[in-house]
Amino acid sequence: MKLAHAALTVSLSTARSTSTMMSRMSTAGRMKPREAAAVSDCMENLGDSVNELQESLEEMAHMRGKNMGLKINDIQTWVSAALTNDDTCMDGFAGNTMNGEVKNAVRAHVVKVARLTSNALALINALSSTQSSP
């Protein structure tokens, strides 16, 4: 449980810092309109990820009692959704017209968030397998 909590905390922190970095990039004003739109969409997806990871941490703080299996299921759903949002973030950068510094910078950070979120999900899945069904 402590490892899963720590992994979620690191994932949340990294998602927040990535969103902040992207916000700074977008206000620098050196992007093409399509890049700016992709960054904006990506920031929205990361914002959703932040919310889902925060919900997961809040639910994890209440992991006592009979409904533990249901709570773990909720957490798995939120963390899976956060991981999907991380993947969706990069969709706006698809295609050859989006090759460049902005795409590379965003990709490096989003891949890190996705890896950390995936690690958190793996630990939560392991935690789930140790609990009895609801």
CB 21 within 8 A of CB 42: no
Residue 132 pLDDT more than 60?
no
CB 75 within 8 A of CB 59: yes
CATH number at residue 44: 1.20.140.40
Question: What total of structural domains would you count in the chain?
Answer: 1
Task: Give the structural domain span for 8.
Answer: 2-130
For the segment 88-114, the average pLDDT, to the nearest whole number, is 88
| pLDDT tens for each residue of 54-65 | 999 999 988 877
**In 7-133, beta strands by DSSP E:** none
Other CB atoms within a 10 A radius of the CB of residue 28 amount to: 9
Confidence of residue 67 (pLDDT cuts 50, 70, 90): confident
